[in-house]
């Protein structure tokens, strides 16, 4: 790890801090929370915890960088290099999630509250078309990445101090009702009673009671045909096994 690489990691942490501070400022500047799912408030409430951990990490990394520059102990310098590489991977993941979170906040929080939910849906589709990550998922992932710092020799103490806070924050976000419907929203049911869904490749037949009774009036030949077809399918499946 060169001096430039060390400074780069400190700069990366500083970048994550700045991005998350922007999301905080956007939420704080909103005149009201109408039209915003409670997940936005939960995310905002967890920002101070994230910022405190990141600032502590930045200070610890600055100290580690100074040790690297002044140390003549080769083994110690290798430890510092390993710690820097591990923290870099974590911070890159945090930066990506933080940037996506900020972009959603920028598109959703300011402006007319009546259209916030529509802007939120469009923002998620535009920013993450192949993932459709919700704001609570992004913040949860940041917190989970910061949890990984307990494996670091230099950041372990920071993580240990706030371990309970991290666990509680992650649980809070996990318990939230989804801020957007799940990706697999092909099935909807607004009536009463059970909903039967065939997610396989076969044909699904849904009957009302009277239609079902009529369907049950099969001739003997029809029943034999149905059973024969089922047996043939089962035989082919058995052979493949």
Residue spans of the chain under pLDDT 70? 1-7, 129-132, 151-154, 156, 159, 182-241
At 187 the pLDDT is 37
At 100 the pLDDT is 94
Residue 177 neighbours by CB under 8 Å, 6+ apart: 38
At 13 the pLDDT is 94
Handedness of CA 53, 59, 62, 66 (dihedral sign): negative
At 210 the pLDDT is 44
d(CA 55, CA 153): 17
Residue with structure tokens 């591990």? 86
d(CA 201, CA 166): 43
d(CA 104, CA 139): 12
At 155 the pLDDT is 72
Nearest Cα residue to 96 out of 16, 4, 200, 9: 16
Written as one string, the DSSP assignment of 173-196 is HHHSPPSS--S-------SSS---
At 198 the pLDDT is 54
SS3 label, residue 131? coil
At 42 the pLDDT is 94
At 170 the pLDDT is 95
Taking CA atoms, 65 is separated from 32, 79, 89, 110, 122, in Å, by: 43, 12, 17, 40, 42
At 204 the pLDDT is 55
Q: Domain limits of the chain?
A: 3-175, 209-240
């Amino acid at each position: 790890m060169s001096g430039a690489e060390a400074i780069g990691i400190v700069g990366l942490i500083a970048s994550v801090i700045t991005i998350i501070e922007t999301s905080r400022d956007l939420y704080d500047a909103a005149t009201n929370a109408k039209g915003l799912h409670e997940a936005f408030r939960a995310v905002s409430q967890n920002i101070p915890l994230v910022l405190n951990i990141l600032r502590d990490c930045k200070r610890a990394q600055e100290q580690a960088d100074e040790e690297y520059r002044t140390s003549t102990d080769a083994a110690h310098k290798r430890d510092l290099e390993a710690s820097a590489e591990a923290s870099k991977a974590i911070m890159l993941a945090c930066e990506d999630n933080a940037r996506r979170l900020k972009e959603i906040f920028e598109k959703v929080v300011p402006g007319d509250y009546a259209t916030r939910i529509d802007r939120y849906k469009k923002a998620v589709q535009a920013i993450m078309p192949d993932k459709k990550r919700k704001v609570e998922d992004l913040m949860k992932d940041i917190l989970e990445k910061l949890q990984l710092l307990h494996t670091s020799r230099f950041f372990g103490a920071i993580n240990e101090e706030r371990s309970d806070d991290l666990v509680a924050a992650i649980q809070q976000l996990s318990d939230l009702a989804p801020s957007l419907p799940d990706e697999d929203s092909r099935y909807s049911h607004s009536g009463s009673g059970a909903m039967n869904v065939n997610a396989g490749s076969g044909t699904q037949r849904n009957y009302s009671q009277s239609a079902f009774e009529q369907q049950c009036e099969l001739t003997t030949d029809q029943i034999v045909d149905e059973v024969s077809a089922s047996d043939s399918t089962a035989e082919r499946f058995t052979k493949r096994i």
